[in-house]
Structure 1
């Protein structure tokens, strides 16, 4: 078994290696942070499919589903295995740790590694549901953030972009140098051109989510009362030019329109429901790539401190609403809102005030830089309390076996 002492090596917010022990501890910490259900979970539990289960809100959805709802079923993601030169991706190690928790909890959760956009993966999942999980699916959580997608029906390849629509956007953003010193910079992003919007919607909109529902429904696998939720984000007016009003925002609008269409169809088909779940800000591998989001999140933490609600607690609330443990509360657009703590007038006013005065010289007084910097490293298993980073660690952790 290959063992190495691993140190964080990064290019900006992208790290070259991940730390298996750190990823394992991070998952354990999320499990402990998830509130326990009010009563004892009895029986086999509902059958769920979580698409995009290894990172960010998808990982939180998987862990919260296990703890709050006692789910069994399938969790899938797209991760890279360890090689001679590189560790596996952080999601690979987080998946191995999540599988251990599922086993300890006595829940039959199968972990698949593959392209969620492909029809072959949809067929593999459908076969598993039919053969292993009573031929019925109760819940589907869709949490996919990807740069590219190939449409299996046409073979067309699409690429998403992060661009404003209509005109260029100039925004502040937060970066760290190799020594971890923070700098506030102004970055300008040119407007979407050509078919940038259509390409981004094809990748990040609701098309693949709907294909999943169509495929599973076509196989007769949706249980009566089946419910599905796609995870989304709206965010602040401070970041809306590049996000909610930009190409990604167009994709999110398409996702929400897809939810409304699916909700009507599922209601007639199986008495079911489809919603989007609008989550609050968090440091994720996806969010750190968006200009301005890093600065905004650091300032938000500076304002709220421990009042910033972590993904695991937000997704616990989502499962409670989906399963009926708590009332289902929807906004006027039919969305579950888990971001209300972030978007209150007083919080946004305080963040906006700090945003206006944020410079390299002032940022340390305005944002929680230590927290943010550590959160970025924790995405890859570093800076996790309780881990001995001076010790050699095994890197060739196997993908969880799903033999019956």
Structure 2
């Protein structure tokens, strides 16, 4: 057993070390607040969750396992411990999730690059041999780069506006002091836009569905969803109207194509427009930190975390509640965020937010703590002065 004295390290919202006990406690909290099934007799359906170690993917996985006794496979791409650094936060979260499932569960975890052909082959071999067919595919992947499995070309995503430059209003911290500033962002080139679409669009989601169909692994009533976001007009220039927005549009176009292809098999495909959340992916987007801090200050307990949103999503996917579709056939989970009164209140605070006022207008301390929790820091009840067991094995699986 390796015990190490660790500190977060890093810069801005990026930490270089993760805390094992803190990451486990975050999963425990998510598990605790996820309802257990009313009955637990028959085995649950089979799900493949791509991106199961963080954000919405982690919440969808925990909810599926806890409430719906889901069987199947979760895929994540996480870094093991090295001499200089701890394992990644997702590594520790996955290990704890597997512990909570326990020996009675029937859900494995694969650590692999989901974009690769090899990961698809390993995953499908496992699913075919153990279950035969799959009921659900959840695609929740946010990545900075993707290697095209057909060409070997590496594409890099960028966070840029389209058409013209944009000055993004930002939130940073000097120690515990919140600072409101700005960041000038040059418009993306056509090549950068196209690369971002190749990384964050629907290409890989389509490959996964086609691979399942090609192996005869799609069960009658199969439903696949990919996570998307629309957000506020305040963040639109860098999000929905930017390079990521172009990728999300491609994702939604892909959903419509998959829906047509799956209909003869009795299947469905939708994008899921989730609400705002503090995730490792979202903290990298300029303006989102400030916006989310202000949004939480407006909503308080009405702010729906990823666990609450995942519970609503699974109710709809399993038929316990009807699908809440918009005119573009997207499942909407973001009504609480985009309510007109909520957005009016956030907009008023946004315009008034300066370094001198933001602590009163936004939940900046909450936001900073949420960022720490992504890596297992700032979790109540954890003794961060004590040495930690940082060597944690990946769950036994495939």
Q: TM-score surpassing 0.5? A: yes
SS of alignment partner, residue 126 of structure 2: helix
CA contact under 8 A between 1:35 and 1:313: conserved in structure 2? no
User: In structure 1, how many angstroms separate the alpha carbons of the residues matched to 2:117 and 2:239?
Assistant: 30
Match of 1:109? 107
Runs of at least 4 residues off by over 3 Å: none
Q: Which of residues 274, 278, 281 in structure 1 aligns to 2:269?
A: 274
User: In structure 2, how many angstroms separate the alpha carbons of the residues matched to 1:117 and 1:279?
Assistant: 23
Deviation at 1:8, TM superposition (A): 2.2
Deviation at 1:56, TM superposition (A): 0.6
Structure 1 length-normalised TM: 0.97
User: In structure 2, how many angstroms separate the alpha carbons of the residues matched to 1:223 and 1:28?
Assistant: 32
Deviation at 1:180, TM superposition (A): 2.2
Deviation at 1:307, TM superposition (A): 1.1
CA contact under 8 A between 1:111 and 1:402: conserved in structure 2? yes
Does residue 250 of the first structure (1) align with residue 246 of the second (2)? yes
User: In structure 2, how many angstroms separate the alpha carbons of the residues matched to 1:326 and 1:101?
Assistant: 27
Deviation at 1:150, TM superposition (A): 1.0
Q: How does 1:325-404 map to 2 (within 5 A)?
A: 325-402=320-397
Match of 1:283? 278
Q: Which of residues 284, 293, 296 in structure 2 aligns to 1:301?
A: 296
Structure 1: gaps of 5 or more residues:
none
Structure 2 length-normalised TM: 0.98
SS of alignment partner, residue 321 of structure 2: coil
Does residue 239 of the first structure (1) align with residue 235 of the second (2)? yes
CA contact under 8 A between 1:68 and 1:320: conserved in structure 2? no
Q: Which of residues 181, 187, 194 in structure 1 aligns to 2:183?
A: 187
Match of 1:72? 71
Match of 1:121? 119
Deviation at 1:6, TM superposition (A): 2.2
User: In structure 2, how many angstroms separate the alpha carbons of the residues matched to 1:165 and 1:355?
Assistant: 22
Structure 2: gaps of 5 or more residues:
none
- Paired residues, number: 398
Does residue 142 of the first structure (1) align with residue 178 of the second (2)? no
Relative distance call for 1:194 and 1:253 in structure 2 (3 A) is closer
SS of alignment partner, residue 14 of structure 1: coil
Does residue 82 of the first structure (1) align with residue 81 of the second (2)? yes
Does residue 220 of the first structure (1) align with residue 216 of the second (2)? yes
Q: Which of residues 108, 131, 137 in structure 1 aligns to 2:129?
A: 131
Deviation at 1:194, TM superposition (A): 3.4
SS of alignment partner, residue 338 of structure 2: coil
Match of 1:210? 206
CA contact under 8 A between 1:206 and 1:258: conserved in structure 2? yes
User: In structure 1, how many angstroms separate the alpha carbons of the residues matched to 2:197 and 2:3?
Assistant: 42
Please list the CA deviations of residues 213-260 of structure 1 after superposition, one character each: whole Å capped at 9, or x if unmatched: 001110001111110010111100000000000010000000001001
Match of 1:265? 261
How big is the alpha-carbon RMSD for the aligned residues of Structure 1 and Structure 2?
A: 1.0
Does residue 175 of the first structure (1) align with residue 205 of the second (2)? no
User: In structure 2, how many angstroms separate the alpha carbons of the residues matched to 1:329 and 1:235?
Assistant: 17
SS of alignment partner, residue 15 of structure 1: coil
